[in-house]
Structure formats: structure tokens, C-alpha cells
Chains A and B, each alone.
Chain A
Amino acid sequence: MIAWPREKDALYWLCSTTILCLLLAFLFRLPDALLPGELPYYHLRIAEAYFTGWEDPLYHVPLPLTPFHVLLAAFVAVFGRAAGFILPFLLMVGSSMLFYFILKERGVPYRVRFLTVLLLATSPISVFAGVSLSEASFSVFVLCLGFYLYLQSLFPWSSFFFLLALLQNVFNLAVVFLLLGYEMWLEGVSKQHTWFFMLVILALVIHPFRLDPLPETDVYKVITDLGAPLGIGIFTGLLLLFGLHRLWKDKYAHLAMYMLGILGLVSWFLLGNSIAVYLNFYFSYLAAWGLLSLFESIWESALLKQFTIIVLICGLLFSFLSYVNRIGNAFPDAPMQEAALWFTQEARDGLVLTAPSRAFWIEYFGSRRTFSSPLNPRGEDINRIFYSRHLGRTLDVLETNNIRYIWIDRAMQHAIWSKEDEGLLFLFRDKEKFRKVYDAKGIRIWKVM
């Protein structure tokens, strides 16, 4: 038998579990104390740039003005670079707790609520969202807060937070629409809905129509245990199926929820990884139903049931720890930071050519413009340079694009070239045209002469 904590103590349990899980992930990042991934460095650079004016100091274009970057700038002003760690942590813990209260308001049974937040805390997506700065974490937090206040009938405040979410990105607009639509489905149309739809129209007028710039999802990679960069654990996936099986018995009672799920999945595949951060809450809720139905089902063999539950819990922990370990080893690491900092000693002329995934680190640490980045991948252009063995033509392209440096690290080399003398690597043999100016711990930088 499982001893469930008392409902009044549940929040402490859940809060401390979420904090512990995220702290564990931080511990794995401690040796280099660097944020994992690429985008956090873009966000930090933009937030820090607010202190110098409204123009991007590197690219001389207007800075994107979003509620997330404003909040991050405020955190940077207080905590310095540590803001990159503190803000996502607080957003994730806050979102989990708010989701618990939302479920409570919606009359979801205590055990399901408890398990939902527990599964949320140990899910790989939460680990990602809690240790890596992302706009999606902010959006989810603001949406949860707005929706919770809406359920509390604090409409002005609710509108304010919804408006923040709407200004953040266009996907939030769809989420607000769907959430309100869902409420209308359940509760019927009320006066307040008029207000909210006016709000939506207002947001549509002033909306910048932007999306979170997270990399696109490889549709075959949604299971983190199989190497997906962001996705669900295999056991959460199985529990999710159990949960669906359990809820399916209620016939049409959850039809709107299924529709939301289908829309969410389609959005995930169409719009990219940032949607996974939103869907994580939905997945955890379904998985919680699955886990609860397993706990409460009557088995012919009690021994088998106990074993199955133990295996499931071990599996969930395994997925969590395995992902935490991967986050711990994710790039950038200290040698990469060191290499990027090297650019600060050089004259600030020309662009750096590298894989798009390295661009934000070079921009942030090295204050150097890059030829391509996740926001501007220029796939065809960089492929033309990377795979060309024609010296004259390559030099022309480099010259035309004002590329002065080329950064190649070991992981990038393995990902792009399969032979050591392929394409651009072959051209590096011409020591008169390319001079190796940096070579340390697997990272090499060439200067185009």
C-alpha cells in the first residue's frame, strides 16, 4: 500500500521535490557553471544589451522587446550572469505549483494532482526548462498564472498576465484562445469572456507575430532515452498511454482535452521544440492518471503488481537521471567558453563562420558577429562553403561575406564531415590562405588571410 501524504502537506512535498530535482540538474552543470544549450546565451546577450540602449551592439539592429527579455534584464541587473540560472529555476518551480492549484480549482482528484506535479518535476522537459533559459518557460509560467487568476475570478490581473503571454509570442495567442474556449465548453459563455476576447483582439493588433526561436524538432526524436534533445521519457510515454486508456472509459467526458492534445502534438511537430515545454504539463497530467490507475487496479497477483510499480518508478527515475547527466555534459563547456573568449583579444573586424549551434556562444562570450546562427541558419550558404574543395571559389564566398575566422570543434567536425580531408578541411592545407590561430582542447580557429 502506498502512503499518500496528507493533502495539506502535499505542497511542501511537491515544492521540495521539484526544487531537489532541479538542484540535482544544477549540480551536474556545476563544474563549468555554464548554462546548457545555445539559446540561453542569445537571451542573456539581448537582456544585457538593454543596459546600453535599444540597439543590438553587435548587429546594429533594434533589440527585440519582449516581456521575457525585460524580466531577464531585471534579473541580470540584480543577480548578474547568475540570472541565467535563477530565472528558469524560479519559473519552473512556480509553473509546477500553479499547475497544481489550477488542477485543484478544476476539481481534479488530489492523487492525480499530486502525481501530476511529481511526474512534472522528474520529466526531462522540466529539467531542460528549469536549467536552460527559454522563452517557453516564461510563457508557460505567465499562462499558468493568468489562468489561475482567471479561475480565482481576478479578471484584471488575469488579463494582464494573459496580455504578457500574448505579447511574448504568437503561439500563446492560440493557447489563450484554446484555454478560454475550453472553459467556455465546460462552463458556458459568461460576461467575462467578452473582456477576454477584446483582449485577444487588442493583442492581435499590437502583436509582433513572433515565435520562440528554439531549433526545429526532428519528428523521429521525441523520446529522450533514444537520444532526443528534448522530449518525453519512454516510461512517461507508456504511462501516458495507460492514462489515455483510463480516461477513454469516460467516453466523451474528455473530448475537448483529446482535441487539445492532438492540436498540441501537431504544433510540436510543426513549430518545434518550444511547444514541448507547454505539452509537458498535459503529458504529466495524462501520465498521472495512468500511474494512478495502475496503483488502484486490482491484480490477480499482488507480487506482480508490486514488481511492475517498482519497475515503473525505477524507469521514471532512470529517464530523469539519464537526462540530468546529459544536461550536465551538454555544450558549451569551459574549453568552448575559453575559445570564444579568445575573440575578445582580436580586432573586431569580419564575421566568424561556424555551425549555427555555436554562433550564440561566440556572440555572447566573444562579442563577435557570426555568419550564421539558429535564428539565421543560412544552410545553403554554409553548406556551399563547408563542402567545397575549390579554393578560389571558397575564398570568393568568404571574401564576399566578410568572413575572417572559421571555428571548428571536434563535435562539429564529426557532425559535418565524414572524412578528414573533405571540403573545407582539405582547403585548410593551404597555409598561406588559412592560418590556424587557435588550437586547444579540440577547438580550432582559422584566420582567413
Chain B
Amino acid sequence: MEGKRIYPLIGIFLFVLAVRLYLALQAPAFAYEGYAVLRQVDEIAARFWPLYDDPLSYGGRTLVFSPLFSYLLALFARFFPLWWVAKIVPNVFAAVVAIFVYLLLEKVTRHRGVAAFTALVAGLFPLSLVMTTSTLSPHTLALPYLLACLYCFLHVRDEHELMPTLLVMIILYPFIHPSALFLVGGLLFYGLLCHAEGLLPKKTEVELFLFSSLYMVWVVFLLFKKAFLVHGFNVIWQNVPTTILEQYFEPISLLSSFAAIGILPALFGTYVVYKYMFSKGEHYWYLFVGFAFFFFALVSMKLIEPKVGLLYLGTFLFLLCGQFFAWALDYVDKTKFAEQKNAMVAVFLLVFVFSLFIFPRQETDVPSLAQVEALVWLREHTAPQETVLGALELGHPIASIAERPNVWDSSFLLIGAIDQRANDVADIFQTSSEVTAVKLLNKYGATYLVLDALARKHYRVSDLAFVHDAQCFSKVYEKDDVTVYKVLCGVREL
């Protein structure tokens, strides 16, 4: 790659990475779900094998997941402290999004300025920062990986030089995350759009689609066999309890999607989609439009968590936005304002960046210091086999920070009678009957109960109504808004 091209690329990457690291290092904690990944990374770094039979989650259960993301982090964790690896490496992955947005736009618009600016904002748009800075989510790797695959796909279409690279990438993809199937879905939509527009797909494209779809379906079935057999197609909804399914797949409003992606990119991207739907363009634009349609369909049909869907949809809207910028610049050149082009561009860029953050910024949900301290206390003052019950989000931190078995966490796949469990936990927090509470706590073998702001919010309680009997419940820890109770008694059926 010649210097002219590589320096701006490195610059964009470093800038995006620097902003991300600045935000990531502000808080010592990770998102609640990130602690599940952290445990896997720790386990792989120590024993080279993921924790498929987890003794702590749900008091002991089987996990099904794609392990490559955890393996990659564990590779670094062999040489560097885990905390630093977990903070830095996912952000490096996420910053790579900017590189591939640049490369893709440079290839299709042949406009480096447009590619550079779009890459910069695509790497830093609000939802991307919320979803990938401190979450340890596999999507931090899966998203740039998808873009890399598309970059190779566009190359392979014209010349076969990158075919082996693309094949290796496709082979590894489902081992990162089952969202590898997004590639298949997006390519399918691309094919349909091309067909509708009368553009003949190249033979290589069809072959690649056939191979990738068969391969990915097979590997996903292989990795998640147990989950598919138990839940069937419902595996898409991850066995989320019905009582909290609404929270997971809450419908998204136009306003919240503007807040997540940014109002201007959403509008400009949609405009480009509209343009290409009614006038014939180059095939590669249909590739991006196809993917945007695919993610839009997934989100609107509630087949994917809205946040994840918007993260992907947003990235593709940014790619389409690049075309809008290219058009706008070409248009200005044809007007009387051509001489003031630079000033206009500068003002426009400022407005554009401002529009990204016009809505109140969402924060990544991370455990508070009080929660972390309570969990550390549990680790230091309880026996390793003591089961701890807390709010759903606290499940993974209980297993990771407190190193104690939890009653439940957000990995629902393969858990039997999950609705019953969710109802029981709600009953425990809301009941005023000591017998009911003790019976249910005994049922799950819970000996400690954590009442924090999350539990208070979810179950709409200020305190537990059944803990007044000191012989049965002892308040063993209290700091800020976190209280830990020890269960001292049991219920025996006569």
C-alpha cells in the first residue's frame, strides 16, 4: 500500500482508537454481560479450553457459544494483564471498523476525503461507542470482520487474488459469533436486489454465497446443536424469559434510532437507499443497500436485539452516507459556490459531527463501585459453594467478581423452565411472606441475597418485606445502596 494511502489510514485508526480508549479507561468496570466473556478469557488463558460446563452460572450448567473471540483475548492475556487486555484489545478491534469503512468507500467512491471523514465518524458514532467500548462484546470483532469480508468479496468479484484470504475468513467467521449468518442474510438481500434491478450476479458471487451459506449454517448448527434441539427456531430469542422479553426486544422508535446512529447519517443513508431503489447504480451499492435492508428487516421483525441491529444498520448507513457526501461534493462543483467549497465542507462537517451527539448520550451499563465492592466482599467472606441471588444483570458479575454460583444470569440458552425461574426470582424480591421467600431461596440453593439499585428498580421495591426475622435473615453487608443478606433458615415439608 502506497504511503499516500496508508498514512491517513493509520491516522484515522489511531484517532478512533485514542477516543475509544479515553472513554474505556474512564471506568474500571465492564458492562454486566462482559463479565461472562472475562471469565471465559481467564479460563482459556489458564487452561486453553473454554468453560463449556460452567459450575457457577445457574449453579452449574452447559454453555454453548462461539469461542474464537475469547481465544483471541486469551492469547493477549497470556502476555499482558487481563484488565488491560479486556480494555484495549476489543477497542482495537472496534477501531478497525474505521479502516474498512475507509477502504470500502475509497474503492467505491474513489474519493479519499469522503472515505476518511466517513470512516472517522463511523468508528465513533454514539451507539458504536456505547456498544463496544467497555462491553467485551464479540460484536466488537464481528462487525469489522463482516466489513473485511465484504471488502474481500468486492475484490474477489473482479480478481481472484484475495479468494484464499476470503475463504479463510469465512471459515473462521462462525467461530467468532453466530452473527456470521448476517453475511449470508446480507448477501441474500444483495442477490435479490440485483435480481430486481436486472443486474446479473457474477458466477463467483453465486459460488461464494453458496459456499458461505452452507458452511455457516453447518458450523452454527454444529456449535449450537443442543440449543437448536431444545429450543428449535426459538433459539433466535435466546430462551429469554417472557417476562423480560419485552425489555430485550423492545420496539425502537425513530427518535431512539436517530439518537443511536445520529440524525444526519440516518437521513442521508436512507436517502441513498431511496435513490438506488429507483435508479440503477453500480452493483456494490446494492451490496450495502442489501445489508442495510437486511438489518432493518431483522430489527423491525424483532429477530435481533435492537441495539445490536442498530449497530450494524448504523455502520451500513454510514457507508451509504459516504456516497451522499460524494454526490454533494460533485454537485457543489457544478454550482456557483464551487469556490467556497472548502469553507462549506468545513461548516457541514461540524454540523454533521454535532448532529451525532445532539441527543443525550447513552451510557454503557456497568456495575457501580458499590456493587463491585459488595461482590468483592462476598468473595472474601463467603464459602466458594455459597449460591448468591441478585438482579439479572448482576448474575455474570456474581460469577466473575464474587466467584460464587449465581441463581440466574443473562445466558438463558439451554436453561429449562426459565419462566418459572424468572417468576420465582420476582416472587422472592416482591413477597412479604417469609415462608415463600425461604422456600424459593431453598429451591435454588441460594444462601446470599443481594439487594441493589437494579433489583429495587426491576421489582419496584425499596426494601425486602420479609427480612425482619433476624433468626432467618441476617444483614451481613450494607454500603451505599447495596445490601447483602444471608439466609439462615430453611423450610421442610412435612
Contact = CB atoms under 8 A, between A and B. Distances in A.
Nearest to A422: B420
A234 to B, nearest CB: 7
A303 interface: yes
A300 B204 contact: yes
Interface of B: 160, 163-164, 167, 203-204, 207-208, 210-211, 214-215, 217-218, 221-222, 225, 228-233, 416-417, 419-420, 443, 493
A226 B232 contact: yes
B208 A304 contact: yes
Given A308-B214, A414-B416, A318 B222 contact: yes
7 contacts: A235-B214, A301-B163, A301-B207, A304-B167, A318-B218, A322-B229, A418-B417
Contacts of B233: 220, 226
Contact of A299 (B203, B218, B230, B493): B203
Interface string A203-233: 0000000000000000011000111100000
B207 A312 contact: no
A444 interface: no
A221 B217 CA distance: 18
A304 B222 contact: no
Given A226-B232, A303-B163, A308 B210 contact: yes
Contacts of A449: none
B215 A300 contact: no
User: Looking at A299, A300, A304, A420, which has the most chain B CB atoms within 10 Å of its CB?
Assistant: A304
Contacts of B163: 301, 303-304
- Nearest 4 A/B pairs, CB to CB: A315-B218, A308-B211, A226-B232, A227-B232
User: Looking at B208, B211, B222, B233, which has the most chain A CB atoms within 10 Å of its CB?
Assistant: B211
Contact of A307 (B204, B211, B232, B420): B211
A305 interface: yes
Given A234-B221, A301-B160, A308-B214, 16 more contacts: A220-B232, A225-B228, A226-B229, A226-B233, A227-B229, A235-B214, A238-B214, A238-B217, A299-B207, A300-B204, A300-B207, A303-B163, A304-B163, A307-B211, A311-B215, A419-B420
A299 B163 CA distance: 14
A330 interface: no
Interface string A280-319: 0000000000000000000111011101100110110010
A235 B218 CA distance: 8
A447 interface: no
Contact of A303 (B167, B225, B420, B493): B167
B214 A312 contact: yes
A232 B230 CA distance: 17
B72 to A, nearest CB: 24
A233 B279 CA distance: 41
A326 interface: yes
User: Looking at A301, A312, A322, A414, which has the most chain B CB atoms within 10 Å of its CB?
Assistant: A301
B422 to A, nearest CB: 11
A356 to B, nearest CB: 22
Contact of B204 (A227, A301, A326, A418): A301
A326 B229 contact: yes
Nearest to A299: B207
B217 A234 contact: yes
A276 B204 CA distance: 37
Given A303-B163, A305-B207, A221 B215 contact: no
B417 A414 contact: yes
Contacts of A326: 229
A429 B217 CA distance: 49
A304 B221 contact: no
Contacts of B215: 307-308, 311
B167 A318 contact: no
A401 to B, nearest CB: 29
Contacts of B218: 235, 311, 314-315, 318
A148 B269 CA distance: 63
A308 B206 CA distance: 12
B207 A304 contact: yes
Contacts of A420: 443
